[in-house]
Structure 1
C-alpha cells in the first residue's frame, strides 16, 4: 500500500493521487489471485529453474523400503505442511507408514472474502503430534501493515479427524506465528507495534485439544518467536531471550548474540536457537543457565525444527556439532528445508500450488483453474533420496451432476414474491454502505481487465509522460467525457531530473494487483467491477456488516486511494474518479505520480540510496519502502523527527534474518510473502517477473550490468539490515549487545539517513530500465483469455436482458434486439433477525457484498454470486440471497382469465462464471382458474455451458400477465458458498406447440 505523508495542502495531495494497497496477490503471493501472482518455470535470467513434478497423487516414494529403510511400515513418523492457493490455505499430512503419501487434512479459508487471490499462512504441529495450528490470511494482506500486524485468522486442526476449530481472530501474520511447544498449547500473537516501533504484543495461549484460549498476556514492545512452555511463554523481546509470566512481565534470560530466526525446544528442558551473526547462521543452545555455541552454517542454509524427543537441525550443517547438545540431531540437505517430519525421517524442501508456476490460465476467475494442485518436493533423510509428487486437494475436483427434473408442480417457492404489478427497481444493485466514490456493481463503472502486454505498454509510456491516448466519450460505458490519461494525471517531475524506471513500476503492479484493473473474478478481456480495496470497510469479508467509515477505497491496478473517498476532503471530479476506477492506463498514470511524489519527499529530506540517481533500479529501494508505509516529512511535528517508518525496515524482527532475496531461489517464495518487507518484494518482482497464464513473463527484465544473466548481474539487493539500523535512528540490531532494536519506541526510530551499499552508481553495477514499447506507440491489442460474449444472437421472442441498456458493456456490443421486459435483482431476504445482542439487521446489508459483474455472456455482461445453503434449518444461509427476476412486458402478454399464450423459455449461460445447479422457477401469472402456479427446472450451469456461451431451452410453459422467471442462490440445501451462480439474459419465445427439446417442460400446462 502506498502512503504519503507530506506538508502539502489537501488540493495538492489530491493531485498526487495517493494509492493504498489492497491486493497483490499474485504478485505477492502469486496467484491471481492473490492475491499471489501468476508465476512459473524460471528462465536463466530469472529465478532458479524448477523441475517438473510428477502427477502421482501424493505418493513420494515408489520404493519406500529403499528410500526409508526396513522399518518404514511400522513407523509413527508424520510430516505436516501448509501451503495456499486461491481456494484456501491447505494443511497436508503424510505418514511414513504410508510411504509418506501426502493428503489434504483441511482447507482453511474464510468463505466469500471478495477478490483476495491466493491464501498464505504458517503452520506448526503440537508436541503430541495430534494437532496442527495455523495462521492464515489472503496474500494481499501482506501489502497492508495493519493486516499483517493483526488481520490474520487462526485455527487448530485435529490431524486424526480433520476437524477444524477456528480460534483467535485478528492475529499476526509472521513467520514465527503460531508457536508450538512440547505439549498441546499453542501461542498466537497480535502486534500493535506501530511504525515508530512503539506498542505492545498480545499473546494468546490456546489449548489445541479444544481450540479455546486458556490465557492471554500483553507485553510492552515487539515480542517475536513465541514458544509456549508449562511455566510461561519464551520469546524474543528487544534482542533478548525472555520468559513472559502470566501477568505480562518479561524476565530476561539472556542476551542474544545475533538476530534470531528460529527457537525450538529440545530434550531436558533445553532450548536451541538459531541467529544470524557476522554473515552466517549460528546455532546455540540455552540450557537455562548459559548459551553454548554449536557451530555455524552459510547464511540462509540452516533450518531448526521440533522433533519427537528433541529437535533437528537440517541443511548445510557440516559445521554443527551436536555432541554438546543431547536431543539434537542433524540431517544434511542441499539448502534450508521448508519443514521436517516429527521424527526427522522426511525433509520437505518445497510445497507450492501450481498457481505459482504459470498454470494460471483462469486464476482469479470464477473457475479457479490450477488451484488445488500442490507440488511437493522432499528428501528422505535415511537414504538421501529426493522425491516429488503432486497432491490434488478436494477443491480441485468439481463433480458434475446432471440437470435435476422439475420439482412439485404448482407449489410456490419458500419466499413468495408478487405475481403481478412488477415494480421497476434500481438497475444498478449496489450497497449504500460505502463512502468510496465510484460505487461497486454500477453498470456505468465497469473496468476492462487488460492483458499484460497492455499493462507493460502503459507503464513504459507513463513513466516518461508519453501515455497520450485519447479515450472517447462514454468510454467503457462510464458516461464520462473524452479524456487523455496523461493529461488527467500528468507525470510529476522528479527532483533533480530523471524518470521512474519502468521495471520499478511494473514490480509494484505485480505485487499490488497482479496487473488487475478489474476484480479478481475477471480475467484478461473481461469487464467487471473495479478492483477495490475493502470497499465496505469490513476487511473484504462477505460475512461482516459494512463499516462505512473504514472503507479503504483503493482502486484498480495501482490501488489509487487519495481522492476516491467522498467523505474525505477534495474528492476527484467524476471524470477523474471514473477513469481511475475503470481505465487501467489512467490508473497507472496516477500510480506513477504517487511513486514520484515519494521519491521527491525523500529528496526533500536529503535521503538517498547510493548515488541517488533515479536511472538505477536499486536506488529506488527506500522510495518503495515509503510508497507502502509512508514518508514522514513534517519536521514541525514529532520532535522534528522525519523519515521512513519501522514496519518495512529490513532490521525489523518480523522478517526472518536469514532470508534470501525474494524469489531469487524459487517462485515458491511467493507462497510466504510475509517473510519480506515491501521494498524487497518489489525488487524480487523486478528481478524475477511473474509469469502469465501462457507461461511467459508478464514484463521484461531490466538491463542488468555485466551481461545480466549471471548471478553477478542480478540486482544487488540490500539485505544488510545494519544499513537502516544505526545510531541515526536510535536503532541497534542487537548483533552483540542484545539491546532493543528500537529502544526509544517512538518517532526517533524512523530512519532518516542515506545509505550507500555499492550499487546504482554507474553502468557497471546498476540496473536500468528496459523499454519494450517505443515511446509514443499506440495501445497494443488485447489478448483475451476467453472469446467475447455473443452480441445479438438471441432466439426470437421477448428478450429480457440483465442490463437496463444493452449498450452498457465493455465488449463493444450494441443493441439490435431491444429488451422487452424488466430485469430485477432483489438483494437479501427482506427480513430482520435478532443477532443475539438485542440488535436487528436486515440481510440486505450482506447480500450485495458477494454480487459481481462479469464482462461475459450475452451482450457482454452477466451477474454472478455464489450458491449458499438454503432450507429452513438453523444452518441455512439466507443472508446472502440474491434473487434474479426476468419479467416480460405485461402489455405483451395475455390478460388473466384468457387462454394464455405458450412460451418457450431460453436462458443464456456465459462461457465462464456459471458453475452451480440452479433451479429456475416460472411464475406463470394468474391462469384461467385464478391460480398463480409455478414450475421449476434445475439447470447444471457448468455442464450446460461447458466453457461456451449457450442458450439453454427450459421448455414450454403457458403464461399470463405478471408472469416471470426467477432464480436465486439459496434454493438448494447442498450449496456450500463456493460455486458460481450466473444470471444472464432470458428469452420468452411465443409458440403454438409444446417443445420436445426443452430440458424440463414438455407440456403446455402451467
Structure 2
C-alpha cells in the first residue's frame, strides 16, 4: 500500500496497508481444478505402493506442508508408513479477521512429532509493521493434532520459524533498533527465553545451548546472556541456516551476485566451502540434524565426497520441500486459487455448501531415490471439533493486546450528530476514519475482474468518464464521473502509467476487490478495509489512534482520515462505494509518486514512463513512502526506505522474480518486496474463476516483453546498495566502535540506508515490458450479475406485519440499477435495533463487537447483517439485535424470520420472543437454509401488547467460525389458536428443531418454550 504513515514526510499521498498477494494455478498435473468431477480426482495417498522405496512400511519418514485459504492455514501431514496418506493436522486462523487467504510457513522438530508454524492474513505482508510484527505463532502436535498458540507476535520474514537438531525452535521479530529472539520449547509449548540483540539478525535457529543467526556479512552465535560472537565472515549476507547432527551449521551465501555458495561452519570455528552454483540452483534444507542439498545441478556442483556426515544430495528442484529423512520431496503445492479470490468473490457455492469451506489442495511429489513421481489431491478437514476449535480460537498474543503507541482514544473524536450512541448504532460515530463501516447508505459495490481491468485501462488513458447518476448504488451522492472527481495528473517527463503497473498495484493491494471479501461480484457490502480499527488483528481491541484508513480496491489512505480535509465528503464517499472512483484516485496517487521522485532526479533506467520496470521507485514510494530531505541537515539520510530495498536480509537472496517459478510463490508473498510483487502480477496476472463457466483464467492481460521473459529486466538484488549513495555495502561488514551491534550491509545503526539516486540496470528498449490494453476508451462498462440476488417480494400473507432490518429510507440498488423496482409489495412496520458489546480500553469505551460485524446487499429487500457466534464469556464481542413492530398485537400471530441464502449457518440461533406483557419465550433453530432465501417459522404465540424478538450472537458452541444473521422478521396474524401454537409453559418432552422451510409449508413442532 502507498504509505503516508506517522513519521512520514508531510504532503505525500498514499494508499493503505492492505496488500494481498495472489497467484496462477500450479503447473503440475496434480494441481487440477478443485471443481473437477470426482471421477477425475487424484488420490490423497500413494495407491501403487510398489513405486515406493523398499522398507516404506517400517520408515519413520514424515512430510509436512501447508496451504491457506479463507478458512485458515492448513497444516498437512503424510507418513511413509501409511503410504503417504495425507491428513490435516491443524487449521490455524484468528476469529474476526476478514481475509480470503491465510499465509505462513513452518518447520519440523527433530522428533518429527511437532511443527512450529507462523501464520497471518496475507494482507499483513504489505505493511512494514504487519510484516515485521504481524505474524501469529503456534506449536502443532502432528501426532495428536493439538494446537498451542504462543503469546508473541513475530516477523513474517521467510526464515521464521527456525528449527534446530532437537525439540527447540527460534522465533524472531524486529524490536526497536535490534532483534527480539524467542526460544520455544515445543514439548512444553511455551517460550522459554527471550532476548533482544542489537542490529538486524536473520535466519535464527537453535545451535547448541544458544542461537545461530546471520547479520550483515557474518554468521554469528548468540549465547543465553545475549552476547554475540562471530562464527564466520562471508562475502555476502548468509541465509537459510540449518544445524547438522554434529554441531555444525550449513548455510548459503551469495557469491558475486549471480552465484551461491553452500558452506559449513564447524564447532571449532572452521568454515568450509562445499560447493557453489548459479543463484537459485541450489538450496540447503534440513530437519533434526539432517541436511539436504537440493537442486537439479547439485550433484555436478557439489561432489558427494565433500559432504559431511548427515548431509545428503537430493536430485530434486532447489525449491522442493523435503521430508524428515529425505525420502520424499514436494515439487508443487496449492489449490490453484491462492489469492485469486475464487471462493469469496466469483464462484457460486453449491447448495448446502458452507461459505467457509476449505479448498482442495493439489500436491506434486517425487521420491529422490527412485525418481518416481506422485500426484495427490487433499481436502483439508478437521477430524476433531475440539482440536479444530483450538486452531481457530484467538491467539494469546492478542488477548487484551494494546496497540503500540496507544493513547486516550477520546481525544479529538466527535459523534456524527447529536444523539448518536455507539452502543446502539451500527456505524462508528467515534471512529478516526472518514467513512463509517456498516452504513446501509454507503455500501461498496463488488466489481468483477473485467470491471476492474476496464476501469484501469480507461483511467490510465485519462478517459474514465463513465457517468454515475445521482443515487448510484443506493447512496445520496449527486451525479459524477470518476475522473471528474479525481483528474489524472500529467507525468513529469511525459508518458502515462502503464495499465499493468496499475493492475499489479490493485492486485497487490486488494486482490482486485472493492468490497469486503464476504461480498461476491455484483453484490454490495462494507468496503474492504485495512487497519480501520487500529486493532493489529485482535477482535477484542479498538484503538482509533492507530487506525489506518485504507479504502477499497486501491486501499486509498491519503485523505481518508476523519481529520483530513484533502478530499471533500463527496470524494471520500465515492472512493468508498465506487471501484471506478477508487481506481481513479489510486492512479492519481501513483502519478504523484512518480512526479515526486522525478523531481528529485530519482529515475529508473532513464525514466521513460512507458516501460514497466521504470516504475520501480514509484512503486517503492507508493507502498512504504518517501522520506524528503531535511532542509536543516543536508547530510541527513533521505529517500526510499530500507524495508523495500531488495538487498534487505528480510528477503531470501536466491529468490527469482515473483511468480516466475510458479504459483508456489503466492503461498509465501513475504519472500518479495512490494515492487517485486507488483511487477510479478504485471507479468503473470492473477487467476480468477469465470462465474459462468467455472474455468480459471487470467484476471487481466499481462504486459509484453521483447525477449518474452519478464525476469530479464529485473534489477539485481544489490542494485540499490552502494557505500557512496546509501551507506550500504554488500562486500564489507561494518562494526560500530563501542557498540555491541554486529556488522551489517546497511552500515547504520538506525537502518536508514535510504536510497535517493537514479539507477540503470538494463537497456529497456531491449528487455523491459510495456503495457497491453484490453479496453478502448469507447468500450462500455462490463456488466456483472450477482450470484446472490435479493429476495424482493414478500410471499407472506398481505396482513403480515414485516419488520425489515433497515429503515424504509434505505435504497437497494446495484450500481445504477434498481433490481427490486416494481417487485416490492411490502413496507417495513417497525425497526431492528442493536446492542453492541463494549470494553474499556485506553481510557475510553470502545465496541470490539463491531469489528466482526458486517452487512451485505442481499437477502430480503436487498440487505442483511451478520457476524460470527461467540462464547458468552466474550461479552465485548456479542451483538444483540431486536426487532420491534410499530404497533401492538393482541391475539395469536405466527413469528416468521427471513434467512438469507449465504453467511448464515449457525445451528444455535436462539431467538427470544417477548409476548408484549413481559413474558419471554426462547426458540432455537438452525439458520442453514441450504443456499436459499427463505422464511422460517418460529411458531405461533398469543401476544398481549407490543412484542419484540431478539437474537444474540453468543451461543453455547460459539467459536467464531459459524455465522449468524439478522434479516427481516414478520408477525403473521392468526384467526385463532393455530396448530403450531407455543405457550409460555414448557412442554413435558422436547421436540426436534425444525429445518428451515418456506412459509407455505407446514412448520414442524417447535422446541419447547421456556419462560424468561
TM-score by length of structure 2 reads: 0.86
Measured in 1, the distance between the counterparts of 2:763 and 2:31 equals 29
Report how far residue 58 of structure 1 moved. Answer: 6.7
Measured in 2, the distance between the counterparts of 1:1003 and 1:631 equals 63
Report how far residue 217 of structure 1 moved. Answer: 1.7
Partner of 1:296: 276
> In the alignment, which of 115, 132, 146 is matched to residue 115 of structure 2?
132
| Contact 1:235 1:242 (8 Å CA) reproduced | yes
Q: 1:280–1:778: structure 2 CA closer, same or farther, 3 Å change rule? A: same
Measured in 2, the distance between the counterparts of 1:6 and 1:219 equals 26
> In the alignment, which of 719, 722, 729 is matched to residue 725 of structure 2?
729
> In the alignment, which of 303, 306, 327 is matched to residue 324 of structure 1?
306
- SS in structure 2 at match of 1:553: strand
Partner of 1:958: 942
Partner of 2:642: 646
Report how far residue 725 of structure 1 moved. Answer: 1.1
The RMSD of aligned alpha carbons is 3.1
Report how far residue 746 of structure 1 moved. Answer: 4.5
Partner of 1:634: 629
| Contact 1:281 1:302 (8 Å CA) reproduced | yes
Partner of 1:416: none
> In the alignment, which of 431, 435, 438 is matched to residue 434 of structure 1?
431
Task: Note the 1:44-83 alignment, pairs <5 A.
Answer: 59-69=44-54, 71-83=55-67
**In the alignment, does 2:239 pair up with 1:234?**
no
- SS in structure 1 at match of 2:153: strand
| 1:847-906 per-position Cα deviation (integer Å, ceiling 9, x unaligned) | 121110011101111101112234xxxxx4343222222222224x22xxxxx2x22332
Moved more, 524-533 or 477-486: 477-486
> In the alignment, which of 494, 497, 504 is matched to residue 494 of structure 2?
497
Measured in 2, the distance between the counterparts of 1:396 and 1:459 equals 45
Q: 1:111–1:156: structure 2 CA closer, same or farther, 3 Å change rule? A: same
| Contact 1:956 1:1004 (8 Å CA) reproduced | no
**In the alignment, does 2:76 pair up with 1:92?**
yes
Measured in 2, the distance between the counterparts of 1:6 and 1:911 equals 43
| 1:943-975 per-position Cα deviation (integer Å, ceiling 9, x unaligned) | x2x2222222334322232212222222x3223
Partner of 1:992: 975
Q: 1:1003–1:155: structure 2 CA closer, same or farther, 3 Å change rule? A: closer
Measured in 2, the distance between the counterparts of 1:85 and 1:1003 equals 37
| Contact 1:704 1:715 (8 Å CA) reproduced | no
Partner of 1:582: 577
Q: 1:383–1:487: structure 2 CA closer, same or farther, 3 Å change rule? A: same
Partner of 1:941: 927
Partner of 1:285: 264
| 1:485-529 per-position Cα deviation (integer Å, ceiling 9, x unaligned) | 212111111111111001110111111101111111111111111
- SS in structure 2 at match of 1:137: strand
- SS in structure 1 at match of 2:877: coil
Report how far residue 841 of structure 1 moved. Answer: 8.9
Report how far residue 369 of structure 1 moved. Answer: 5.9
Q: 1:622–1:636: structure 2 CA closer, same or farther, 3 Å change rule? A: same
> In the alignment, which of 445, 455, 459 is matched to residue 458 of structure 1?
455
Q: 1:150–1:247: structure 2 CA closer, same or farther, 3 Å change rule? A: same
Report how far residue 214 of structure 1 moved. Answer: 1.8
Q: 1:9–1:576: structure 2 CA closer, same or farther, 3 Å change rule? A: farther
Measured in 2, the distance between the counterparts of 1:9 and 1:658 equals 33
Partner of 2:615: 620
Measured in 1, the distance between the counterparts of 2:8 and 2:360 equals 50
Unaligned runs of 5+ in 1: 31-36, 194-198, 400-422, 871-875, 895-899
| Contact 1:152 1:170 (8 Å CA) reproduced | yes
Partner of 1:412: none
Measured in 1, the distance between the counterparts of 2:617 and 2:811 equals 43
Partner of 2:911: 921
| Contact 1:452 1:698 (8 Å CA) reproduced | no
Partner of 1:145: 128
Q: 1:48–1:343: structure 2 CA closer, same or farther, 3 Å change rule? A: closer
Measured in 2, the distance between the counterparts of 1:795 and 1:677 equals 60
| 1:816-875 per-position Cα deviation (integer Å, ceiling 9, x unaligned) | 4211112112222x8x79x9xxx9997x722121110011101111101112234xxxxx
Measured in 2, the distance between the counterparts of 1:52 and 1:454 equals 24
> In the alignment, which of 182, 191, 200 is matched to residue 165 of structure 2?
182
Measured in 1, the distance between the counterparts of 2:261 and 2:726 equals 26
Moved more, 485-494 or 694-703: 694-703
Partner of 1:250: 228
Measured in 2, the distance between the counterparts of 1:679 and 1:396 equals 41
Partner of 2:598: 603
Q: 1:791–1:561: structure 2 CA closer, same or farther, 3 Å change rule? A: farther
**In the alignment, does 2:480 pair up with 1:483?**
yes
Task: Note the 1:449-598 alignment, pairs <5 A.
Answer: 449-542=446-539, 544-567=540-563, 569-570=564-565, 572-598=567-593
- SS in structure 2 at match of 1:976: coil
Q: 1:161–1:801: structure 2 CA closer, same or farther, 3 Å change rule? A: same
Partner of 1:692: 688
Report how far residue 571 of structure 1 moved. Answer: 5.1
Measured in 1, the distance between the counterparts of 2:339 and 2:533 equals 33
**In the alignment, does 2:807 pair up with 1:804?**
yes
Q: 1:496–1:532: structure 2 CA closer, same or farther, 3 Å change rule? A: same
- SS in structure 1 at match of 2:581: helix
Report how far residue 643 of structure 1 moved. Answer: 2.0
Q: 1:6–1:550: structure 2 CA closer, same or farther, 3 Å change rule? A: closer
| 1:206-237 per-position Cα deviation (integer Å, ceiling 9, x unaligned) | 21111222222212111001121233211111
Moved more, 55-64 or 655-664: 55-64
Unaligned runs of 5+ in 2: 387-419, 735-742, 981-1000
Measured in 1, the distance between the counterparts of 2:835 and 2:490 equals 49
Report how far residue 736 of structure 1 moved. Answer: 7.2
- SS in structure 1 at match of 2:342: coil
| Contact 2:31 2:335 (8 Å CA) reproduced | no
Q: 1:975–1:724: structure 2 CA closer, same or farther, 3 Å change rule? A: same
Partner of 1:701: 701
Task: Note the 1:873-884 alignment, pairs <5 A.
Answer: 876-884=873-881
> In the alignment, which of 767, 774, 777 is matched to residue 776 of structure 2?
774
Report how far residue 249 of structure 1 moved. Answer: 2.5
Report how far residue 4 of structure 1 moved. Answer: 5.2
TM-score by length of structure 1 reads: 0.86
Report how far residue 802 of structure 1 moved. Answer: 0.5
Measured in 2, the distance between the counterparts of 1:616 and 1:504 equals 10
Measured in 2, the distance between the counterparts of 1:172 and 1:51 equals 33
Measured in 2, the distance between the counterparts of 1:658 and 1:233 equals 23
| 1:50-69 per-position Cα deviation (integer Å, ceiling 9, x unaligned) | 66689878733112243221
> In the alignment, which of 370, 375, 388 is matched to residue 375 of structure 2?
388
Report how far residue 728 of structure 1 moved. Answer: 3.4
- SS in structure 2 at match of 1:965: strand
Partner of 1:225: 203
Report how far residue 308 of structure 1 moved. Answer: 4.5
Task: Note the 1:403-422 alignment, pairs <5 A.
Answer: none
Partner of 1:857: 859
Measured in 1, the distance between the counterparts of 2:499 and 2:422 equals 46
- SS in structure 1 at match of 2:851: helix
| Contact 2:793 2:826 (8 Å CA) reproduced | no
Q: 1:494–1:794: structure 2 CA closer, same or farther, 3 Å change rule? A: farther
Report how far residue 256 of structure 1 moved. Answer: 1.5
Report how far residue 675 of structure 1 moved. Answer: 0.3
